[in-house]
């Protein structure tokens, strides 16, 4: 199963973290921007090249340390076709470096639309009678709030293509409780009800590996809920956002892991990508990102006993 592959990569590198790749022009060092505008002018093509060159530099600097990367699709979509090309090139380059790729798209719809989303990111699409992959990710984040109609196509492709999904449960943003903490008919919160559904959906995909391919997104900014959910979701792999720039620390993410220090991966984006900003002009952005990855790895490993 796909999460077994992720855990193997985590174990090999002794690092339960994922590097978020959420580039914006203001995050990219000036020397890269100068290079691309000299070559392509102040065009969308230059933007796409800047995004990819920045990502490539981060991957080159950290690929021996991190088991996975997580590009957030919105940061590419806002720059149009050239941004999307940068996303495709980033995924392909990360895969060439043997990294596990989680696309943070938070997709959610029903019926044939959900099938189309799943085909785009996890499966294959029929093109003139030939099955082809579009964006060959290992895993995709999805939104559960349309119920099983919006999840089943992704589960089906997880089984068919050996992929995985992370389903939103308790997100790291401050206003998550506006809806996620509402008490529903069962007497549980809405996020707890979603968590139970994820357990049920995951039971469809039982394998020899402990963790099934239907994972959960649970934010580092809510450590008590994280601890409670780990107890009620023993076979669910966790993606834990909110570390670093959003305020989550190593002690906060500890409850996400099982008794063996496994079953979770912790994301950090801006704290890694923008680490160079504390030091200089950014020509050493890869080195500074690498230092931040090592700090994050060591802090988490200390609290989980790895």
- Which residues are catalytic, by number? 106
Segment (H or E) for 298: helix 285-304
Termini Cα distance of the chain: 23
Q: Exposed/middle/buried for 261, CB within 10 Å: 0-12, 13-18, 19+?
A: middle
DSSP state of 146: T
Please return the burial class of 38, using the count of CB atoms within 10 Å of its CB with bins 0-12, 13-18 and 19+. Answer: exposed
Letter string b/e over residues 156-174, b meaning 16 or more CB atoms within 10 A of that residue's CB? bbbeebebbbbbbbbbbee
| DSSP helix/strand/coil, 67 | coil
The two beta strands, 100-107 and 125-127, are unpaired
Pair of tokens at residue 32: 């890269």
Q: Do the Cβ atoms of 19 and 293 come closer than 8 Å?
A: yes
């Amino acid at each position: 199963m796909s999460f077994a592959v992720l855990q193997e990569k985590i174990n090999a590198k002794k690092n339960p973290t994922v590097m978020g790749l959420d580039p914006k022009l203001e995050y990219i060092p000036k020397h890269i921007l100068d290079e691309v505008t000299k070559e392509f002018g102040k065009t969308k093509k230059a933007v796409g090249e800047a995004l990819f060159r920045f990502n490539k530099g981060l991957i080159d600097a950290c690929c021996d340390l991190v088991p996975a990367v997580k590009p957030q699709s919105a940061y590419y979509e806002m720059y149009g076709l050239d941004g999307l090309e940068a996303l495709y090139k980033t995924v392909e380059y990360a895969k060439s470096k043997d990294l596990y790729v989680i696309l943070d798209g938070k997709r959610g719809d029903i019926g044939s639309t959900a099938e189309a989303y799943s085909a785009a990111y996890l499966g294959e699409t029929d093109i003139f009678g030939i099955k082809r992959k579009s964006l060959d990710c290992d895993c995709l984040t999805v939104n559960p709030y349309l119920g099983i109609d919006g999840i089943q196509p992704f589960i089906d492709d997880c089984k068919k293509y050996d992929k995985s999904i992370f389903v939103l449960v308790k997100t790291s943003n401050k206003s998550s409780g506006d809806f996620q903490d509402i008490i529903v008919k069962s007497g549980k919160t809405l996020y707890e009800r979603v968590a139970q559904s994820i357990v049920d959906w995951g039971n469809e995909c039982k394998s020899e590996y402990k963790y099934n391919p239907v994972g959960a997104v649970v934010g580092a900014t809510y450590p008590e809920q994280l601890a409670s959910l780990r107890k009620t979701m023993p076979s669910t792999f966790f993606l834990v956002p909110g570390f670093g720039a959003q305020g989550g620390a190593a002690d906060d993410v500890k409850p996400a892991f099982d008794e063996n220090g496994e079953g979770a991966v912790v994301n950090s984006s801006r704290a890694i990508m923008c680490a160079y900003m504390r030091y200089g002009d950014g020509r050493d952005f890869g080195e500074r990102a690498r230092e931040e990855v090592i700090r994050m790895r060591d802090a988490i490993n200390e609290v989980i006993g790895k």
